[in-house]
Amino acid sequence: MRTFVKEIARHFEKDMIPFWENLKDTEYGGYYGYLSYDLNLDKKYEKGCILNSRILWFFSSAYKALGREELRKDAEHAYRFLKDYCLDKEYGGIYWSVTYDGKVKDATKHTYNQAFAIYALSAYYDATGEEAALNLAFLLWQLIEAKCKDEGGYLEAFDRRFQPMENDKLSENGVIAGRTMNTLLHLLEAYTELYRVSRDEAVGRQICYMLDLFERKVYKREKGRQEVFFDAQWHSLIDLYSYGHDIETAWLVDRALEILGDDAYRERIRPITMEITKNIYERALRENSLPNEKEKGVEDTTRVWWVQAEAIVGFINGYEKAPEKTFYLEAAEKIWHYIRCRLIDSREGSEWFWAVDETGKPLDKPIVEPWKCPYHNGRMCMEVIRRLGNDT
């Protein structure tokens, strides 16, 4: 385990942080939005606001963990771009994307986007004490509660003025979903971090509300897994088993329970997260990695970067909750070996491949684009260091 943690810590500090620092746009602000598989940087590609939020979270959390002043400056650079260009000053909320020089490109307001801005702003406040960042996080929280919610839960896609629209951005696999497990999960994650840094009781109540939705609407006991895409009445739209989202959910829900500190919720919900972890271990782990997903019984064997990163954290979390289950820790170590050998791109000026096929051949997909970011793999590194660093 000592080698495992040291390798991840070194990769985080020596490889990952410098890679993302090198994408800083000192002319127009923020960070460049596209690096092709062939490592061609497109400085005029759109800047996704999810990408910018995740970079803000990454550097804020890295500064909190390491205390290096240049990381604070990296985070401040992302923060300025978010509040100056990604935030709609007229109607509120965070845009979907802006042009390379900060003009609005896609004015869609998505609940998922607002959630990641809250997540990032909470981390930036935690790292720097910047009160304006916390105030902005609460403005976005209030906006979600006022504009993005109905009697059944949270809605997802809106135009600039917060009129509902088709949820094509968070729908996949041939369906258009009214509600998604993915958006609810990351809204829970964002509210958890906002509650952690503020202890605001109203935010805590909404965490309880989302845990109820997770337990009663998203998780299916008879299947031992979550459903993924729903209509507005929470009817599942497709038989889809998303391995990465399930193992990610297991540890993020446990994180919410830990921060919430409510014994009744912990007693109710933790058996579910333990069951999800066990099922992913037994059903999806093979060849020291996780396939992407299974749709209608047919498995997509692609090994996606973020799925492997989340599996490491999820299995370490399972080990921490049940230390006698050392096979979870062993699984995490084996997945890291797989990542090191298959997914980390050894070419100079690169980071992780988006995905490889089941033989380990990289797919021709970008190294950086609006969804390919330092959130999953950067968070994995920091979670491993935080959870296991003192044990080595």
- Please tell me the chain's helix, strand, coil percentages from 3-state DSSP, rounded to the nearest 5: 55, 15, 30
d(CA 23, CA 90): 30
The pLDDT-based confidence of 392 (bands split at 50, 70, 90) is low
pLDDT digits (tens, 9 = 90+) for 115-146: 999 999 999 999 999 999 999 999 999 999 99
> Which residue type sits at 197?
V
Does some domain include residue 174? Answer: yes
Range of the domain at 65: 43-331
d(CA 370, CA 46): 8
Does some domain include residue 344? Answer: no
User: Does the pLDDT value for residue 362 go beyond 70?
Assistant: yes
**What three-state secondary structure class fits 6?**
helix
Residue-level pLDDT at 241 = 98
User: Does the pLDDT value for residue 1 go beyond 70?
Assistant: no
Q: Which two tokens stand for residue 136?
A: 């902005």
What CATH number should be reported for the domain holding residue 99?
1.50.10.10
pLDDT digits (tens, 9 = 90+) for 21-68: 999 999 999 999 999 999 999 999 999 999 999 999 999 999 999 999
Q: What is the mean pLDDT of residues 187-193?
A: 98
Strands of the chain (E only): list them.
47-48, 97-98, 104-106, 109-110, 149-150, 153-154, 157-158, 179-180, 219-220, 225-226, 229-230, 240-242, 293-295, 298-300, 303-304, 355-356
Q: What is the mean pLDDT of residues 262-271?
A: 98
Please provide the size of the chain in residues.
Answer: 392
User: Does the pLDDT value for residue 390 go beyond 90?
Assistant: no
User: Does the pLDDT value for residue 264 go beyond 90?
Assistant: yes
Q: At 340, which helix (H) or strand (E)? A: none
d(CA 199, CA 249): 22
Q: Which two tokens stand for residue 246?
A: 């399930």
Does some domain include residue 172? Answer: yes
> Which residue type sits at 27?
E
Does some domain include residue 35? Answer: no
Residue-level pLDDT at 350 = 98
Does some domain include residue 77? Answer: yes
Residue-level pLDDT at 188 = 98
Does some domain include residue 337? Answer: no
> Are 76 and 150 in contact, with CB atoms under 8 Å apart?
no
What whole-number percentage of the chain has pLDDT above 70?
Answer: 99
Number of domains into which the chain is organized: 1
Report pTM. Answer: 0.97
What whole-number percentage of the chain has pLDDT above 90?
Answer: 98
Residue-level pLDDT at 2 = 81
Does some domain include residue 273? Answer: yes
Residue-level pLDDT at 391 = 66
Which of these ranges, 237-251, 280-294, 377-391, has the smallest mean pLDDT?
Answer: 377-391
Q: What is the mean pLDDT of residues 290-307?
A: 98
Does some domain include residue 246? Answer: yes
Backbone angles phi, psi at 353, to 5 degrees: -65, 150
Q: What is the mean pLDDT of residues 239-250?
A: 98
pLDDT digits (tens, 9 = 90+) for 148-182: 999 999 999 999 999 999 999 999 999 999 999 99
pLDDT digits (tens, 9 = 90+) for 76-121: 999 999 999 999 999 999 999 999 999 999 999 999 999 999 999 9
Sign of the dihedral through C-alpha 51, 78, 39, 102: positive
